[in-house]
Amino acid sequence: MPHWYLLLNDSEEVIGCAGLITNDFISRMDLYPWVCALFIDANYRGKAYGSLLLEKAKEDAKKGGFSHLYLCTDHIGLYEKYHFKYIGEGYHPWGVSSRIYEAVLTD
């Protein structure tokens, strides 16, 4: 780690990205790895392309021997669709909080 993922369209243009890192600038240093910087271009949203990046991060985290994967966000109702569960709040060094989600990586 870190791992960075790019999602390309048929024309080889970047339409999305995400990262797999050890900490996403959040106070919960005891939790890792984290999905970070998940982004899908506005023209491609609503087609579940983000799930491709999340699944790849889950797969790589599991291959790395991890049993859980985390992310922090202000979104409510989005990541639950991809089997992430809200587990509490975390705090960033710049003083704001974010919701922390956890996915259990199973066979």
Please, what's the largest Cα pairwise distance for the chain?
41
| Mean pLDDT to the nearest integer, 44-72 | 97
| Mean pLDDT to the nearest integer, 62-87 | 96
State residue 107's pLDDT score: 64
Q: Would you put residue 89 in left (φ > 0), alpha (ψ -120 to 50) or beta?
A: beta
Structure tokens at 80: 């639950």
State residue 1's pLDDT score: 87
Which residues neighbour 51 within 8 Å (Cβ) at sequence distance 6 or greater? 81, 82
State residue 82's pLDDT score: 95
Do β-strands 34-40 and 85-91 pair in parallel, antiparallel, or remain unpaired?
Answer: unpaired
My answer on whether omega of the bond before 93 falls inside 30° of 0, hence cis, is no
Mean pLDDT across the chain: 96
Q: Helix count (H) and strand count (E) of the chain?
A: 1, 6
pLDDT digits (tens, 9 = 90+) for 3-30: 999 999 999 999 999 999 999 999 999 9
